[in-house]
Amino acid sequence: MRVAMIGTGYVGLVSGACFADFGHDVTCVDKDEVKIARLREGHMPIYEPGLEALVARNVEAGRLSFATTYDGTVQSADAVFIAVGTPSRRGDGYADLSYVYAAAEEIAALLDGFTVVVTKSTVPVGTGDEIEAILRRLRPDAQFTVVSNPEFLREGTAVLDFLHPDRIVVGANTERAAEVMRRVYAPLTDGSYYAQPDALKGACSASRPAPLLITSAQSAELIKHASNAFLALKISFINAVANLAEVVDADIQDIAAGMGLDTRIGPRFLRAGLGYGGSCFPKDVAAFHWVAQQRGVDFQLLDEIRKINERQKDIFFNKVLSALWTLRGKRLAALGLAFKGDTDDIRESPAVALVQRLLASGALVTAYDPAAMERAREVLSPSGKMHYASSLYEAARDADAVLILTDWKEFANIDLVRLNQEVHFPIIIDGRNLYKPQFMHDHGFTYVSVGRPATYQAQQGKPRSLAL
């Protein structure tokens, strides 16, 4: 199959590389000439485990290429995927579809023969109809069908999620378009991809291939928003329970384990912490709520999900304040800036929002993140109060408290003896519940986490080093 992928962000680049790994001929298009030049040189614009090797393998095999114009790519494609950004509009939270519609307009001029135009971007229900109207208006003679094919990729595990999906959803209103999409995904749905010797191992296999669900385009668009809203609901629900658990000296991790053993609930997305962030959940919950309002549906639950998520950051900030009494002049080590581990994405990151608030309160912050510091510098510029460290131990040097803000594996395996030697006060405030309270107490730390009783040590500060 010949595939054109419009956009080289998280969705477009991962999808394009994976389609090429199936054996399809894929061209990824992006108007950012610098990004395309760097991709051609093998430099990844995002941090995503496994992606660099996947791209390199398929570029070398001649199945994956990059371009800055649609011309010459769209005409020959069996399927053209739109995978451009759909950021939230300021004020109302509705998805900004200007990039999607601009892509549709450019695609229209180049359609040649029957083509399936696929929305891979997350869009509100009804967007496919709008894209079709644009194409029909500009090219009434063209042969095409607009299809919805939502992505369900998690940053940090996007390659694995694409190649071993829980489900592949295709919203096609014609059988001809559905058949093209079956061919695009055939290596996953017939199991042939998993029989290859270099196939990435995961939940699917040749005997247990990926499931394909064919729906209407409107249903597929709703499936994406409804799925993300429900996952955000699970996160906000467990955070609300965590706040109650903390008041009554219960342990939210035990509660989540007990809930997760119920197969109707399941254990995933039941981790209490700072709340959700990133490019998907905040935007999709807001957009889903906007769509419901516009259609006259009272969906207040979505607003409560958002409110609980915002309160979680306030609650954690107050934990830091309570542990230190005042923040002005206090030295804090911030471990983690990305919204989650295994990504450099800081969009809507609770960690970044907290650091900004701590700085505004007069604290001195030294941050460390294994991947996200370069991006963080764009919004948290180095200054007299904001510093960056080359390791977590450097960040913790002379700190009055260490804050764990992102669930990187590195932060769950800290040398606690060394850490205790570096800090001024042995205080850890953990927004990701990476440790057991008793374990931290045994290692000499005052330990404050989310939804669990805090453990305290008698505080006696060590002499500060002269180095800043």
Of 288, 292, 297, which Cα lies nearest the Cα of 124?
288
Q: Are residues 256 and 325 in the same domain?
A: no
Of 66, 87, 77, 155, which Cα lies nearest the Cα of 113?
77
Question: What backbone phi and psi angles, to 5 degrees, belong to 448?
Answer: -120, 125
Measure the CA–CA gap between 439 and 436, rounded to whole angstroms.
5
Query: In this structure, what is the dihedral angle of CA atoms 233, 234, 240, 245, given to the nearest 10 degrees?
Result: 170
Positive or negative torsion for Cα 152, 157, 158, 162: negative
Q: Are residues 175 and 68 in the same domain?
A: yes
460: in domain: no
- DSSP conformational letter for 89: P
Q: Are residues 110 and 210 in the same domain?
A: yes
Q: What angle do CA 348, 350, 356 make, to 5 degrees?
A: 95
Q: Are residues 405 and 428 in the same domain?
A: yes
Q: Are residues 83 and 136 in the same domain?
A: yes
Instruction: Please say whether the beta carbons of 249 and 453 come within 8 A.
Output: yes
Q: Are residues 40 and 85 in the same domain?
A: yes
Question: What backbone phi and psi angles, to 5 degrees, belong to 427?
Answer: -120, 125
SS3 (DSSP) at 182: helix
456: in domain: no
The domain in which residue 124 lies consists of 2-215
Q: Are residues 81 and 121 in the same domain?
A: yes
Greatest alpha-carbon span in the chain: 79
Single residue among 160, 181, 215 that ends a domain in this structure: 215
Q: Is 307 exposed, middle or buried (0-12, 13-18, 19+ CB in 10 A)?
A: exposed
Residues of the chain with pLDDT under 70: 90-93, 459-461, 465-468
pLDDT at 280 (0 to 100): 87
Helix H segments across 42-126?
A: 51-60, 98-108
Structural domain count of the chain: 3
pLDDT at 209 (0 to 100): 97
157: in domain: yes
Measure the CA–CA gap between 217 and 72, rounded to whole angstroms.
28
Catalytic residue among 18, 28, 204, 280: 280
pLDDT at 334 (0 to 100): 98
Q: Are residues 320 and 303 in the same domain?
A: no
Q: Are residues 74 and 105 in the same domain?
A: yes
Residue-wise pLDDT for 83-120, tens only, equals: 999 888 765 667 889 999 999 999 999 999 999 999 99
Measure the CA–CA gap between 142 and 52, rounded to whole angstroms.
37
462: in domain: no
Positive or negative torsion for Cα 365, 371, 376, 382: positive
Q: Are residues 40 and 177 in the same domain?
A: yes
458: in domain: no
461: in domain: no
Single residue among 260, 275, 308 that ends a domain in this structure: 308
371: in domain: yes
Q: Are residues 369 and 423 in the same domain?
A: yes
CATH of the domain at 249: 1.10.1040.10
pLDDT at 91 (0 to 100): 58
465: in domain: no
- DSSP conformational letter for 346: -
Q: Are residues 80 and 17 in the same domain?
A: yes
Q: Residue 40: which H helix or E strand, with range?
A: helix 33-40
Measure the CA–CA gap between 353 and 435, rounded to whole angstroms.
23
Q: Is 382 exposed, middle or buried (0-12, 13-18, 19+ CB in 10 A)?
A: exposed
Measure the CA–CA gap between 98 and 23, rounded to whole angstroms.
32
Single residue among 274, 308, 342 that ends a domain in this structure: 308
Written as six digits, the tokens of 146 are 């607009």
Is 280 an annotated catalytic residue? yes
CATH of the domain at 427: 3.40.50.720
Measure the CA–CA gap between 216 and 224, rounded to whole angstroms.
13
Instruction: Please say whether the beta carbons of 457 and 444 come within 8 A.
Output: yes
Token pair 């709520």 is at which residue? 289
